[in-house]
Amino acid sequence: MKFEEIKAKLEEYKADGKKLFTTSSFQSHSLVLLHILSRIDKSIPIYFINTGYHFPETVQFRDYIGEQFGLNIIDLKSDVPKFMQRDADGRLLFTSDPDHCCYLNKTQPTDAILLSHDVWINGVRADQSAVRAAMKVEQPAKHGCTRFHPMLDWNAKMIWQYQKEYNLPKHPLEEKGYISIGCEPCTRKLDPEMQEREARWFGMNKVECGLHTDLINK
């Protein structure tokens, strides 16, 4: 979708009395959607899913972008303390059960936000994974909420062109070889033969955290 189409759709939602929100990981490619939203409505809440495992650079970058774009950023954290996020052997869950770790720190907190909002503006792109390629621009989520995917038909080249046009900053870890950046324990540098999402949960047979599988109605 183009800027004017996204703007028109958001204005349509608001005219219908819909309560909007978005989530962001504050990776370089995520800034395109955030910048677009800042041009349309800076009051839309931006939920940063603060798992407690982010790189310090990500948290610093979040604060910088929030100030630069004038965003309404809200930290979203799990209600389950880290000392309760351990397996039977006492190890933190990301070492033995990353799916449950993601559920407690990402999916469950976001699920609660769906209860109080009507439209989740989400920046997934079809070229990122097979799961995302099967999505539609607009589709139902849990609790009667609607997922709106305005970037679904964008590709890496279009993202790069927008970044260049508006001189958007890049995540500080990108120049160090990190492309897909999530929680520090489950993120590695991208090798030349790897696809973008393969740098996450490497060797764990996992490419999604649950936000785009559990919180969507197919």
CA dist., res. 147 & res. 157, Å (int): 24
Report residue 91: phi and psi, to 5°: -85, 145
Residues 22, 199, 166, 35: what is their CA dihedral angle, to the nearest 10 degrees?
10
Tokens of 147: 């997922």
* Three-state SS at 48: strand
* Exposed/middle/buried for residue 75 (C-beta within 10 Å: 0-12, 13-18, 19+): exposed
* Three-state SS at 142: helix
- Mention every residue, 6+ apart, whose C-beta is less than 8 A from residue 49: 23, 25, 76, 105, 106, 109, 110, 211
Active site residue 209: yes
CA 15 to chain centre: 26
The end-to-end CA distance of the chain, in Å, is 22
* Three-state SS at 21: strand
Catalytic residue among 101, 102, 183, 209: 209
Known catalytic residues are 209
